[in-house]
Amino acid sequence: MSSHSAFAEAADALADRVLGALGGTGGAVQLARYVDDAPDTLAALAAVRVLGADVFSPHLLAGHTLPAQDAAVVVKAFDAFPPSDAPEEAAVVRRDHATAVLLARLSGDDTLSTVAPAPAEDAGPGPAEDWSGWSVRMAQLAPLATLGLDGPVHDAARRGALPLSRGVSRSILRRDFPTAVRLVRWLAWLHHEGVELPIDPEVAAEHVWLVGGAGPRAALDLAIARHFLGQRPGTVPKEAAHP
């Protein structure tokens, strides 16, 4: 098996684990045990990096605590696969920094926010006039559509309900269901923020699920979206208290 295949398989396995913890059917994520038990430690660490901020979904949305050994695994994953600071990888830089910010918050160790640098002069994903290209960039940033994060990307989402909705429709018509799922997640986050939307995110989420199916990572995006859609707009889930 190639390293790429091993990394993809490990990412799917970890997504399943996170999904189970988020849904209450699989106990805690237990990142440390996941890595210790993995047949390929490097692939397991790569999976932690691939999922990024989403590994914290059960902690943010379902109130699970983050054990010190699990926080240490995220740091180890950054050591194994250092964060990028290349301008042409702006989405990767933002996702990495989001992971570091949540790691610091959930672990209670502010110094851990430095494991991935903040984007230099972050102005968000750029103007939304070219809504199709802009929505693709926002889809790449879907892991930021979660609790505990706010910044230029989130401000862009609040201003961009219409282009995000157009992006969902376009992705569905093109049968690009992974992109559609990620954009639906943004719409669900906006719904939770109390933003008025031109399309119903619950209908969009259900349509994508039924028509497009979902692998583990897309299923995780949809589960996170449904957590937001299950809350009254403008409220924070009562179980998701931050340290």
For residue 122, what pLDDT is reported? 66
Using DSSP's 3-state secondary structure scheme, residue 219 falls into helix
For residue 27, what pLDDT is reported? 78
For residue 80, what pLDDT is reported? 97
**Which are the contacts of 101, defined by CB distance < 8 A and separation ≥ 6?**
113, 148, 149
Q: How far is residue 121 from each of residues 65, 87, 153, 158, measured CA to CA in Å?
A: 33, 11, 12, 20
Residue-wise pLDDT tens for the chain (243 aa)?
557 889 999 999 999 999 999 988 777 899 999 999 999 999 999 999 999 999 999 999 999 999 999 999 999 999 999 998 887 788 999 999 999 999 999 999 999 999 998 887 665 777 767 899 999 999 999 999 999 999 999 999 999 999 999 999 999 999 999 999 999 999 999 999 999 999 999 999 999 988 876 689 999 999 999 999 985 444 444 344 333
Closest to 202 in 3D by CA, of 234, 170, 168: 168
For residue 42, what pLDDT is reported? 96
Please report, for the chain, the start and end positions of each structural domain, with discontinuous segments joined by +: 1-121, 123-236
Closest to 40 in 3D by CA, of 71, 92, 84, 5: 5
For residue 210, what pLDDT is reported? 87
And the tokens for 134? 């802009």
CA–CA dist 229, 184 (Å, integer): 10
For residue 240, what pLDDT is reported? 41
